[in-house]
């Protein structure tokens, strides 16, 4: 079970809506406990509704920022503007890192956000709990 | 010259689990040749059949993508940080 602040969910959904009908994409930074600490909304350099590639220099800057906070880039999120929140065959083929969290935002009817691990071509559900924090 | 290479998680297993490695060379190409000698599996990820950089592999020298510098001929010195970033893509 992965945990994250609700703001992470809001950032991913907002980026997906802003990029629609193109695919949105971004990176996720985790702390030592595995909690998602930051969602970096980044540019899809393909500007496509069916594919994405994260713009490399933005990837580099996100990495630098995460490292400066003591975090590690440990996942990626992207939207499916016209299909479900499930990794596509292309996602599986291009998912190289079994340790990464792959978050897919399905925009078919209403937005649905789901997390996965992709290990040796096999898709495994990885539930994410988005927590709303109350101010003290 | 000895540059520091920052490795992404997926490639660390090819370098004994290290997050960074120190490798000698006066250009990125020379550094990668030495990587291939010392860490053959890692070297395979950094070369393509035509001898260039694989299209899915992004390499930064300090803060610059080497594709916008001199590619594998980009010079390095003792304070250079080389960061390897596999392209993140899907559909």
The pLDDT, as a whole number, for residue A109 is 87
Give the Cα separation of B91 and B89 in Å (integer): 7
Q: Do A78 and B60 touch (CB under 8 A)?
A: no
Of B38, B87, B79, nearest to B59 by C-alpha is B87
Contact B57, B84 (CB under 8 A): yes
Structural tokens at position A107: 């925009």
Reading phi first (left if > 0) and then psi (alpha if -120 to 50, else beta), residue B17 is in left
Contact A110, A120 (CB under 8 A): no
* Per-window interface: A 30-69 vs B, CB < 8 A: 50-54, 56-57, 59-60, 63
The pLDDT, as a whole number, for residue A136 is 56
- Interface check for A15 against chain B (CB to CB < 8 A): the answer is no
Calculate the alpha carbon distances from A25 to A44, A78, A136, B28, B89 in Å.
Answer: 6, 4, 33, 30, 9
Query: For chains A and B, what is the number of CB pairs under 8 angstroms?
Result: 60
Structural tokens at position B51: 């001898």
In 3-state terms, what secondary structure has residue A82?
A: coil
How many angstroms away from the CA of A133 is the closest CA of chain B?
31
The pLDDT, as a whole number, for residue B1 is 79
The pLDDT, as a whole number, for residue B51 is 84
The pLDDT, as a whole number, for residue A33 is 97
Mean pLDDT for A69-87 is 97
pTM score, whole prediction: 0.93
Q: In terms of CA atoms, which chain B residue is nearest residue A81?
A: B91
Summarised one tens digit per residue, pLDDT across range A100-110 is 999 999 999 89
Residue A12 CB coordination number (10 Å): 26
SS3 content of chain B, % helix, strand, coil (to 5): 35, 30, 35
Residue with tokens 């899809």: A44
Summarised one tens digit per residue, pLDDT across range A45-56 is 999 999 999 999
Q: pLDDT grade, residue B21 (50/70/90)?
A: very high
**Which residues on chain A are in Cβ contact (under 8 Å) with B8?**
73, 97
The percentage of chain A sitting over the pLDDT mark of 70, rounded to a whole number, equals: 98
The percentage of chain A sitting over the pLDDT mark of 90, rounded to a whole number, equals: 94
Alpha helices in B1-91 (DSSP H): 9-12, 28-38, 40-45
The pLDDT, as a whole number, for residue B56 is 93
Give the Cα separation of B11 and A121 in Å (integer): 18
Of B69, B59, B83, B77, nearest to B5 by C-alpha is B83
Which of A133 and A10 is assigned the larger pLDDT? A10
Summarised one tens digit per residue, pLDDT across range B23-61 is 999 999 999 999 999 999 999 999 999 988 999 999 999
The pLDDT, as a whole number, for residue A96 is 75
Q: Do A60 and B85 touch (CB under 8 A)?
A: yes
Interface predicted TM-score (ipTM): 0.93
The percentage of chain B sitting over the pLDDT mark of 90, rounded to a whole number, equals: 88
Contact A83, A49 (CB under 8 A): no
Of A30, A103, A34, nearest to A69 by C-alpha is A30
Concatenating the DSSP letter of every residue in A2-32 gives EEEEHHHHHHHHHHHHHHTTSPPEEEEEE-T
The pLDDT, as a whole number, for residue A135 is 62
Q: pLDDT grade, residue B83 (50/70/90)?
A: very high
């Amino acid at each position: 079970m992965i945990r994250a602040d609700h703001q992470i969910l809001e950032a991913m959904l907002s980026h997906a809506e802003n990029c629609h009908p193109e695919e949105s994409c971004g990176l996720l930074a985790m702390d030592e406990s595995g909690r998602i600490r930051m969602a970096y909304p980044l540019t899809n350099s393909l500007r496509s509704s069916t594919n994405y590639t994260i713009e490399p220099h933005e990837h580099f800057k996100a990495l630098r920022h995460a490292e400066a906070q003591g975090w590690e880039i440990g996942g990626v999120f992207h939207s499916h503007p016209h299909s479900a929140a499930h990794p596509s065959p292309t996602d599986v083929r291009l998912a190289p890192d079994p340790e990464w969290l792959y978050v897919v935002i399905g925009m078919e009817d209403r937005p649905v956000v789901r997390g996965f691990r992709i290990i040796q071509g096999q898709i495994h559900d990885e539930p994410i709990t988005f927590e709303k924090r109350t101010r003290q | 010259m000895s540059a520091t290479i920052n490795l992404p998680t997926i490639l660390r297993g090819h370098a004994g689990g290290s997050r960074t490695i120190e490798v000698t060379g006066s250009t990125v190409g020379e550094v990668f040749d030495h990587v291939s000698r010392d860490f053959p599996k890692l070297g395979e990820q950094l070369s393509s059949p035509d001898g260039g950089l694989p299209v899915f592999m992004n390499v930064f020298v300090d803060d610059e993508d080497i594709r916008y510098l001199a590619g594998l001929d980009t010079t390095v010195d003792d304070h250079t940080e080389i960061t390897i970033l596999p392209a993140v893509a899907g559909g």
